[in-house]
Amino acid sequence: MTAPTGLTGSTTNPVARGEAAAERTTRGERRAVPRRSTPHRVTAIPVLPDGSPDWERRASGAARDLSPGGIGLELDSPADMPAGSPVLLVLQDSPPGGPLCAGVEVRHTRRLGPGRLRVGSSFGGLAGEVVRPENLVPRFRPESMALVPGWPEPVLRKWADLGVLRADVVDRIQLCPACHGLPTFRRGCSGCGSARVTADRFIHHFTCAHVGPVGDFEAGEELVCPKCRTRRLVVGADYEYLTGVHHCADCHWGDAQLGPVAQCLRCGLRFPGDQAVEWELTGYHAHHLDPLALLAGAG
Ligand SMILES: [Zn+2]
Ligand SMILES: [Zn+2]
Ligand SMILES: [Zn+2]
């Protein structure tokens, strides 16, 4: 396979060379058969059942008979495109910011001569799914307990290598070190990972600086300092609560600080939170061809 160099590259790019050859043929055609044509040249890339580009069978041509529901094409294609074939159309004269593309399904074809194919197509189908925004960004899939895009990453990568899709880092997440599933996080015992931890609570009386367990201050309905005997203590004004050592109910560990503890939703592994694997989430972006805008441009 020719190394894909993108669809908007230099003249060494195979797509650009195909475009030049096609222009010579269409110029004569346009004079002989006047029609309501759009000035737009496209590359038609057949889509394989797994969503990948069938780059070897791509064809160059011109867009005709544009409507909101579909598009007519004249392609420099030696091979036929059976009805029902999914094809991704990429506009060759796209504005800056990435090539405009649209997924279509072939409705009917007619041979205009050797190497020239008239194609009627409607927007949508499998090729439309390839560039649908919901399929391009990673989403949470309950069946795999993971964040993945609608298409396998290698498939989207192939379109990105052709320049049709643009890859972007959309997030950075923490995953299970064993299976790369999504974990939950809590603060818990640094010794055994248990969340069954309790901590002693203390009261700090500001005036006399006494610190003691809450129980020592409790006197019926009010709080009384056991050292200086001041009554009716008001939180914030007279005293503050302090947290003492945490005690684990499962391993009897004790520490002033709790640690981050993670548990994988997929494989169940419980592990120290700082052992989570950090992972960059890649999303893809397509520039969608708006037929109405193109029609307005062609008028
Ligand atoms: Zn513990
Ligand atoms: Zn006191
Ligand atoms: Zn796991």
CB 36 within 8 A of CB 23: no
Reply yes or no on whether the pLDDT at 78 is more than 90. Answer: no
What ligand has the least distance to the C-alpha of 264? 3
Identify which ligand lies nearest to the alpha carbon of 250.
1
pLDDT at 290: 82
277-288 vs 100-113, strand pairing mode: parallel
- Smallest-distance ligand from the CA of 208: 2
Q: Where are the domains of the chain?
A: 14-133+286-298, 183-277
Q: Provide the CA 46 distance to its chain's centre, in angstroms.
A: 24
Per-residue pLDDT, averaged over 98-113, amounts to 93
CA 268 to ligand 3 centroid distance, Å:
6
Q: How does residue 218 score in pLDDT terms, banded at 50, 70 and 90?
A: very high
Q: What is the mean pLDDT of residues 114-128?
A: 94
Nearest to 259 by CA among 201, 185, 205, 208: 185
Tell me how far the alpha carbon of residue 237 lies from the centroid of ligand 2, in angstroms.
13
CA of 209 to the centre of ligand 2 (A): 6
Q: pLDDT exceeding 90 applies to what percent of the chain?
A: 68
Check: pTM over 0.75? Answer yes or no. no
Closest listed ligand to the CA of 225: 2
Residues 6 or more apart whose CB falls under 8 angstroms from that of 179 comprise: 264, 266, 267, 269
Q: pLDDT (tens digit, 9 = 90+) per residue, 106-116?
A: 999 999 988 89
Handedness of CA 286, 289, 290, 296 (dihedral sign): positive
C-alpha of residue 202 to centroid of ligand 1, in Å? 22
CATH of 14-133+286-298, one of 3.90.420.10, 2.40.10.220, 3.20.20.60, 2.60.40.1180: 2.40.10.220
The whole-chain average pLDDT of the chain stands at 85
User: Which of 4-18, 132-146, 163-177 has the weakest average pLDDT?
Assistant: 4-18
Looking at residue 53, its pLDDT comes to: 97
Does the pLDDT at position 262 exceed 70? yes
Mean pLDDT in residue range 206-214: 96
